[in-house]
């Protein structure tokens, strides 16, 4: 059996010190971080002030998926009473049927304006017609170069750039000119591919935050299209990017210094005060 370089590095980092592997696989892998982040708005987008989005990504449910972990993440999101939920891809690594139990948990998500999903690179590599069907049956709207128009803003979703065919002009053509767009795009380095200020916020995953991080150094290994923006909030002019560390694991069933994350993003006009909900 051929073992990837990624898997070899992760195994070397974790199986060397047994205590680190035990902590990472038993404790940290299951220790959800509900991370509240304020995203600053440009003055001309102040109509979005107070909008709240839950972001979750990188489930890889066919490798080391845990229905109970997803159930707890869903409960955390529902307790936040958000406006939008964005599921940012990589629901599986290789085997699409594993999405069935995952989508059964997604069916319990609640958001005032809807639950949306986009395609990750692993989903694209193994894509078949059962994927959109499972999302539809669970009440999740899959966006592939599409947008949902809510009047004052839109939620858009781009196809994966690693194996897919993303096309932002197709999204823009569906909307009034200059309408602010909240964009789901699985791979974060795509943030460098456009400059249109119409995209207020890009929401990405893909990197797992490194999944295994070294003290001080940070992520040991990052994937293609995920090396410029490993995790967290980034800003270029009026555009924002948030990269979640993801919820699942891949290659080895562990996380180290990189807890699974449910991100709660609140759009904020910085000239107006909002109560601190953290």
Q: Domain limits of the chain? A: 32-269
pLDDT band per the 50, 70, 90 thresholds, residue 18: low
DSSP annotation of 256 reads B
The pLDDT of residue 25: 80
**Cα–Cα separations (whole angstroms), residue 273 to 40, 50, 52, 53, 268:** 12, 10, 15, 18, 8
Query: Over pLDDT 90: what percentage of the chain?
Result: 83
pLDDT digits (tens, 9 = 90+) for 73-96: 999 999 999 999 999 999 999 999
The pLDDT of residue 81: 98
3-state SS class at 192: helix
The pLDDT of residue 276: 67
pLDDT digits (tens, 9 = 90+) for 179-197: 999 999 999 999 999 999 9
The pLDDT of residue 274: 60
Higher pLDDT, 23 or 129: 129
pLDDT digits (tens, 9 = 90+) for 193-236: 999 999 999 999 999 999 999 888 899 889 999 999 999 999 99
Residue 259 in contact with residue 33, Cβ under 8 Å? Answer: yes
pLDDT band per the 50, 70, 90 thresholds, residue 114: very high
The pLDDT of residue 3: 47
pLDDT band per the 50, 70, 90 thresholds, residue 153: very high
Tracing tokens 């993303």 back to the chain, one arrives at: 166
Q: How many CA atoms lie within 13 A of 179 on its CB side?
A: 20
The pLDDT of residue 278: 54
pLDDT band per the 50, 70, 90 thresholds, residue 2: very low
Residue 254, pLDDT above cutoff 70: yes
The pLDDT of residue 20: 59
The pLDDT of residue 1: 37
Give the DSSP per-residue string, 200-233: EEEEE-SSGGGSBEETTTEES---TT-SS--SEE
CATH says 32-269 is which class?
alpha beta
Residue 131 in contact with residue 96, Cβ under 8 Å? Answer: yes
Report the chain's mean pLDDT, rounded to a whole number.
92
The pLDDT of residue 17: 55
DSSP annotation of 158 reads P
Residue 58, pLDDT above cutoff 60: yes
Strands 33-41 and 141-142: unpaired
**Cα–Cα separations (whole angstroms), residue 172 to 149, 164, 176, 216:** 11, 18, 8, 41
DSSP annotation of 101 reads H
């Amino acid at each position: 059996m051929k073992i990837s370089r990624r898997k070899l590095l992760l195994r070397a980092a974790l199986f060397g010190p047994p205590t680190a592997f035990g902590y990472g696989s038993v404790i940290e892998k299951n220790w959800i971080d509900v991370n509240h982040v304020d995203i600053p708005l440009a003055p001309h987008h102040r109509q979005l002030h107070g909008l709240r989005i839950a972001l979750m990504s990188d489930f890889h449910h066919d490798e080391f998926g845990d229905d109970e972990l997803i159930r707890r993440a869903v409960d955390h999101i529902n307790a936040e009473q958000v406006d939008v939920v964005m599921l940012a891809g990589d629901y599986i690594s290789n085997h699409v049927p594993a999405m069935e139990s995952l989508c059964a948990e997604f069916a319990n998500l609640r958001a005032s304006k809807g639950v949306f999903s986009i395609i990750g690179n692993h989903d694209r590599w193994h894509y078949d017609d059962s994927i959109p069907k499972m999302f539809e049956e669970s009440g999740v709207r899959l966006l592939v170069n599409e947008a949902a128009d809510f009047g004052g803003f839109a939620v858009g979703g781009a196809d994966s750039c690693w194996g897919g065919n993303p096309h932002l002009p197709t999204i823009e053509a569906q909307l009034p000119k200059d309408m602010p767009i909240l964009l789901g795009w699985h791979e974060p380095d795509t943030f460098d591919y456009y400059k249109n200020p119409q995209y207020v916020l890009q929401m990405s995953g893909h990197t797992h935050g490194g999944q295994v991080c070294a003290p001080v150094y940070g992520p040991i290994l990052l994937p293609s299209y995920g090396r410029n923006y490993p995790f967290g909030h980034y800003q270029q002019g009026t555009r924002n990017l948030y990269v979640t560390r993801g919820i699942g694991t891949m290659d080895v069933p562990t996380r180290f210094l990189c807890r699974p994350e449910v991100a709660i993003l609140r759009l904020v006009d910085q000239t107006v005060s909002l109560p601190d909900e953290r």
